[in-house]
């Protein structure tokens, strides 16, 4: 892969009048089978599957103009923020062999999230994929191409921030090589849209904000802790098994299996952090209260509502679109009491990145 894209990199002289502004909006995603543990350059230890979200997005613009050397400024929500921009700048410098033209450009990056910064929702998947889409679009303008290559966008999004590889595709994506899915790769995600039952194409994700604090362990540190985790080999075996069974359930619309795997994956992710050294407990008391209430609600109503968790205390409630009224009532009447200031975000499976400018 790398060779193809190094070979096709634009190495010409950037024309003096080359300038413009590109914008992309890209969504966050929520993993069902989790990526936790990596090797080499952002290669996952096991494959993962996610829903692409719709409402939680990053909107990123790059203004560019010809310059004598690489110039870079980063603005977050209207204010210059070199600390936030540092990860993008490092990515560009690390991978300049693929994008040598950046050394003849001055870039001004402006980014904002549609979800509040204090919502505890990780924004690296949405922001890094939005940035990569803009960068590839600039390259396309230089070489005279029109269509964005989504596989390439996923590949470079992965290098910028692992799970960002999956945000590039509509509905659902699989990232990581598995024998159960032809064309799957550790280097980029592939779209699952054509291999899932229609019920999943409009699935809802209501995100309950149990804490708005930033995570106490970064995902980079969390992945690193898997290297010495005694349960890591068993985890990777089980994740592969879960991928196989989830792919089948996604195809047939088997909600019992979907719920079973999704909840087990969320709890495994947290269990792995609890038995890492040092260990981390990322759930809060209200996370557990919500989990218990969700399971009771499911038993009592037979509504196929289930939960998943990211590497933090907030709870993602997943359910079919036709259950939205009853689940909304349940959230408003009961679960919102466990959220900071009663806050939750109504999201759903979405159509992937959109071009803004």
Residues 6 or more apart whose CB falls under 8 angstroms from that of 280 comprise: 216, 217, 222, 273, 274
**Which of 25, 60, 161, 229 lies at the binding interface for ligand PMV (CB under 6 A)?**
161
Confirm or reject binding of residue 184 to ligand PMV (CB under 6 A): no
- The single residue listed with the structure tokens 């499976």 is 349
Closer CB to ligand PMV, 30 or 150, in the complex: 30
**Which of 23, 47, 120, 162 lies at the binding interface for ligand PMV (CB under 6 A)?**
162
Q: Are 64 and 19 in contact (CB under 8 A)?
A: yes
**Which of 35, 51, 74, 98 lies at the binding interface for ligand PMV (CB under 6 A)?**
35
Q: Which two tokens stand for residue 304?
A: 């196929």
Segment 136 to 155, residues that bind ligand PMV, using CB under 6 A: none
Q: In what side-by-side order are the strands of the sheet with 344-348?
A: 306-309, 315-319, 204-208, 344-348
Distance in angstroms (rounded) separating the CA atoms of residues 55 and 52: 10
* Per rule CB under 6 A, count of chain residues that contact ligand PMV: 14
Q: How far is CA 8 from CA 1, 5, 97, 98, 158, in A?
A: 11, 5, 11, 8, 19
Confirm or reject binding of residue 48 to ligand PMV (CB under 6 A): yes
Confirm or reject binding of residue 127 to ligand PMV (CB under 6 A): no
Q: How far is CA 85 from CA 90, 127, 175, 183, 308, in A?
A: 9, 11, 26, 33, 30
Site string (206-245) toward ligand PMV, x via CB under 6 A: -------------x--------------------------
Confirm or reject binding of residue 36 to ligand PMV (CB under 6 A): yes
Confirm or reject binding of residue 310 to ligand PMV (CB under 6 A): yes
Closer CB to ligand PMV, 247 or 311, in the complex: 311
Closer CB to ligand PMV, 269 or 340, in the complex: 269
Closer CB to ligand PMV, 22 or 309, in the complex: 309
- The single residue listed with the structure tokens 């159960």 is 180
Confirm or reject binding of residue 56 to ligand PMV (CB under 6 A): no
Site string (248-287) toward ligand PMV, x via CB under 6 A: ---------------------x------------------
Residues 6 or more apart whose CB falls under 8 angstroms from that of 235 comprise: 36, 37, 46, 226, 229, 268, 272
Q: SS3 of 97, please?
A: coil
- The single residue listed with the structure tokens 């922001």 is 127
Closer CB to ligand PMV, 25 or 123, in the complex: 123
Confirm or reject binding of residue 171 to ligand PMV (CB under 6 A): no
Closer CB to ligand PMV, 14 or 272, in the complex: 272
Distance in angstroms (rounded) separating the CA atoms of residues 241 and 154: 24
- DSSP element (H, E) containing 331: helix 324-333
Confirm or reject binding of residue 205 to ligand PMV (CB under 6 A): no
Report, in Å, the least distance between residue 165 CB and ligand PMV.
8
Residues 6 or more apart whose CB falls under 8 angstroms from that of 29 comprise: 50, 51, 52, 53, 125, 163, 166, 167, 173
Stretch that binds ligand PMV, among 32-40, 59-67, 297-305, 334-342 (CB under 6 A): 32-40
Confirm or reject binding of residue 47 to ligand PMV (CB under 6 A): no
Report, in Å, the least distance between residue 88 CB and ligand PMV.
15
Residues interacting with ligand PMV, by CB under 6 A?
Answer: 31, 34-36, 48, 122, 124, 161-163, 219, 269, 310-311
């Amino acid at each position: 892969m790398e060779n193809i894209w190094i070979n096709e990199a634009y190495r010409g002289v950037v024309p003096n009048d080359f300038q413009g502004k590109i914008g992309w909006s890209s969504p966050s995603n929520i993993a069902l089978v989790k990526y936790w543990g990596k090797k080499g350059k952002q290669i996952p230890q096991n494959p993962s599957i996610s829903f692409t979200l719709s409402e939680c997005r990053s909107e990123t613009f790059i203004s560019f103009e010809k310059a004598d050397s690489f110039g870079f400024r980063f603005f977050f929500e209207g204010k210059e923020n070199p600390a936030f921009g540092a990860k993008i700048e490092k990515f560009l410098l690390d991978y300049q062999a693929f994008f040598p033209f950046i050394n003849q450009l001055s870039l001004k990056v402006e980014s904002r999230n549609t979800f509040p910064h204090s919502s505890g929702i990780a924004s690296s998947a949405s922001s890094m994929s939005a940035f990569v889409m803009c960068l590839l679009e600039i390259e396309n303008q230089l070489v005279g191409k029109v269509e964005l290559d989504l596989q390439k966008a996923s590949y470079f999004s992965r290098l910028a921030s692992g799970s960002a590889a999956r945000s590039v595709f509509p509905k659902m994506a699989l990232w990581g090589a598995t024998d159960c899915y032809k064309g799957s790769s550790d280097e980029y995600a592939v779209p699952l849209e054509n291999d899932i039952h229609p019920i999943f194409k409009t699935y809802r994700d209501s995100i309950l904000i149990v804490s708005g604090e930033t995570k106490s362990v970064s995902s980079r540190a969390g992945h690193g802790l898997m290297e010495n985790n005694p349960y890591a080999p068993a985890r990777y075996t089980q994740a592969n098994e879960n991928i196989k069974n989830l792919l089948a359930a996604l195809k047939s619309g088997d909600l019992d299996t979907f719920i079973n795997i999704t909840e087990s994956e969320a709890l495994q992710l947290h269990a792995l952090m609890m038995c890492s050294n040092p260990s981390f407990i990322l759930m809060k008391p209200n996370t557990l209260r919500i989990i218990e209430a969700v399971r009771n609600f499911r038993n009592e109503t037979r509504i196929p509502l289930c939960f998943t968790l990211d590497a933090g205390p907030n709870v993602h409630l997943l359910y079919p679109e036709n259950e939205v009224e009853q689940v909304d009532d349940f959230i408003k009447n009961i679960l919102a009491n466990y959220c900071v200031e009663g806050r939750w975000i109504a999201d759903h499976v979405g159509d992937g990145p959109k071009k803004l400018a």
